Amino acid sequence: MNTPHPRLPADLPSDGAGGSPSFGEPWQARIFALVARMCEDGRYDWESFKVLLIDEIERHGRTDSSDYYERWLAACERLVTGQGFVSAADLAERKAELAAHPPHPTSAAPGPIAIDPPRRT
């Protein structure tokens, strides 16, 4: 049985089959992992992110939810700047650098990505 981390909600987005989070693109898995890890590490409480995510979805989300992880990214950006992890100026500068010089695309086969449940040792 997959027991969620006590600081993370049990109703995170999943593929519906095995309950594992499902992602259409690698960056979606990375933003999910970043947000989840910061919460697990105690850098913020889940409710703080949840409030930002709900606000992003209500203000900017598409009615078909096709931009769900774009909303996660926007909420994460607000979280890290609001918590003082990075300044808004530094974040904007890094985003501009990445836009001007995108990383090489992955050679992995396209398709949905799922995260294996955590393994306890």
pLDDT digits (tens, 9 = 90+) for 31-83: 888 898 999 899 988 899 999 999 999 999 888 888 888 999 999 999 999 99
Is 30 within a domain?
yes
CA 117, 118, 120, 121 torsion-angle sign: positive
| Residue 23 to residue 84: CA distance in whole angstroms | 28
Q: How many structural domains comprise the chain?
A: 1
- The token pair at 18 is 């095995």
Higher pLDDT, 34 or 106: 34
| Residue 75 to residue 72: CA distance in whole angstroms | 5
Q: How confident is the model at residue 121 (pLDDT cuts 50, 70, 90)?
A: low
Is 90 within a domain?
yes
Residue 106 has pLDDT above 60, yes or no: yes
Is 74 within a domain?
yes
Is 81 within a domain?
yes
Q: How confident is the model at residue 103 (pLDDT cuts 50, 70, 90)?
A: confident
Is 16 within a domain?
no
Report pTM.
0.70
Is 95 within a domain?
yes
Segment 78-95 shows an average pLDDT of: 94
Is 41 within a domain?
yes
Q: How confident is the model at residue 20 (pLDDT cuts 50, 70, 90)?
A: low
| Domain that residue 56 falls in | 22-100
Question: What counts of helices (H) and strands (E) characterise the chain?
Answer: 4, 2
Chain-centre distance for alpha carbon 121: 25
Is 4 within a domain?
no
- Name the CA dihedral angle for 62, 8, 112, 15, rounded to a multiple of 10 degrees: -80
